[in-house]
Amino acid sequence: MNKTDFGRHLRAWFRRHGRDLPWRRTRDPYAILVSEMMLQQTTVAAVVPYFERWMQRFPSAGALAAAEESKVLSLWQGLGYYRRARNLHAAAKKISVDLRGEVPRDYEGLRNLPGIGDYTAQAVRAFAFDQPVPVLDANVIRVVARLFDLRAPVDTAKGLGKVRAKLEELLPAQGGYEFVSAMMELGALVCRAGRPDCLLCPVKEFCAAKHPEKLPIKAPKATIKKRTELAAWVWDGEAVLLQQSTARRWVGLWRLPPLEGEPPAGPAAELTYSIVRERVTLRVHRTTKRSLMASAEPRKAFSLRELESIAIPSPHRRAIAKVLKDRFDHGSHR
C-alpha cells in the first residue's frame, strides 16, 4: 500500500466529513486528557454534555486539583466507572503540584499519571501534541484489521500486536492529530462494526478485506455470570438512608445499604445492570434501620434535595428513582 496516497485520501475525506466535536476545537492537553478519560467506555454522544459542563466548572488542571472530591464525583455522576473521575482528579493534582501545570508530552511521563494506560497516553500525544503515534481504539483496530484483512483475534496480545505493526506502517512522519482523528472517524462513520459502507469509503482502493463484515475477529467470549444484589429501602417520610461504600468499585459513593439474609417482603424496585462479565439484578426491599446488619461503613439519611448533590452509583440512583416514582404514583407514605 502506498501510505502517502492512503493518507492523502483519508485526510481529504476527514476535512470534509469529520464531525465538529467540542474536544476537536482545542489542543489544550488538559482538555484532551479530560475528553479521553470520559470517552473510555462511554459513547461520544453521552460524553459531549459532560465534557462541556466539566470544562466550564474545571477549566484547568489547577481548578480540578483544588476541587473537593465530592464535587468532582458529583459532576461525573451518570458517566459511570467512577474510578476514571478519581484518577483524573489525582492526575490533575500531580500535574499542578509536581509538573508545574504542564501535561507531559512524552509517553513515559503520561503513563506515570494515575489511570493513564497505553491508549490514553498515545491519544494525548496525538491530539494535544500532534505526534504521529499508534492510537488503538476500537474504531482504529477495526479499520486496520479490515484494511489488511487480518485474521488473528484482535483481543489477544498477538492479534493486537499485528494491528499495531500495520498501523505503524501507515503513520505519517508528522501530523498525528489529523491522521489519528481521521482513522477514528472512518471507523465511526463508514467502516462501522457489522456492515461497513464500503461504497462510500475514501480508502477502498487500498483495502484488502474480502469479507469486511466478518472482521475484526475476536476470541470466544468468557461466559457472563448472573448475580443478585439485595439493598434496603429505609425511608422516614422525608429522607432515605444511604451507606458510603468502601468497596473498590464504588469507594466514596453513597449507595442503598446492602441487605443480608432473607428479604422482609417483595421488592419495592428491581432492575438489572452489567459490570465486567457480570449481569447483576438489584432488588430493593423496604425495611427498617434496626433490622440492618451493623456495618463499619458510615450511614446517613438524605432528603430528596440532598440526593441531587451527592455521588450515587448509577444503578442505585435508578433504583431510588423507581421507588420514589412508585411512592408518588401510588400516594404511599412508607
190 is a site residue for ligand SF4 (CB under 6 A): yes
Residue placing its CB nearer to ligand SF4 in the complex, 66 or 208: 208
Residue placing its CB nearer to ligand SF4 in the complex, 86 or 204: 204
- Using CB under 6 A, pick the residue from 46, 99, 198, 217 that binds ligand SF4: 198
Q: At its nearest, how many Å lie between ligand SF4 and the CB of residue 226?
A: 36
Long-range contacts of 2-7 (CB under 8 A, 24+ apart): 2/206, 3/169, 3/170, 3/172, 5/206, 6/170, 6/203, 6/206, 7/170, 7/172, 7/179
- Using CB under 6 A, pick the residue from 47, 113, 124, 209 that binds ligand SF4: 209
180 is a site residue for ligand SF4 (CB under 6 A): no
Catalytic site residue 278? no
Q: At its nearest, how many Å lie between ligand SF4 and the CB of residue 13?
A: 10
21 is written with which cell numbers?
Answer: 466535536
Long-range contacts of 101-106 (CB under 8 A, 24+ apart): 101/60, 101/61, 101/62, 103/29, 103/30, 103/33, 103/61, 103/128, 105/29, 105/129, 105/131
7 is a site residue for ligand SF4 (CB under 6 A): no
Q: What is the footprint of ligand SF4 within residues 130-159 (CB under 6 A)?
A: 143, 146-147
Q: Strand 299-303 to strand 269-275: parallel, antiparallel, or no bridges (unpaired)? A: unpaired
Residue placing its CB nearer to ligand SF4 in the complex, 65 or 190: 190
Give me the catalytic one of 36, 205, 260, 270: 36
How many whole angstroms separate alpha carbon 62 and alpha carbon 67? Answer: 9
229 C-beta neighbours (distance < 10 Å), count: 17
The residues carrying an active-site annotation are: 36
**Contacting positions for ligand SF4 (CB under 6 A):** 143, 146-147, 190-191, 196, 198, 201, 203-204, 207, 209, 212
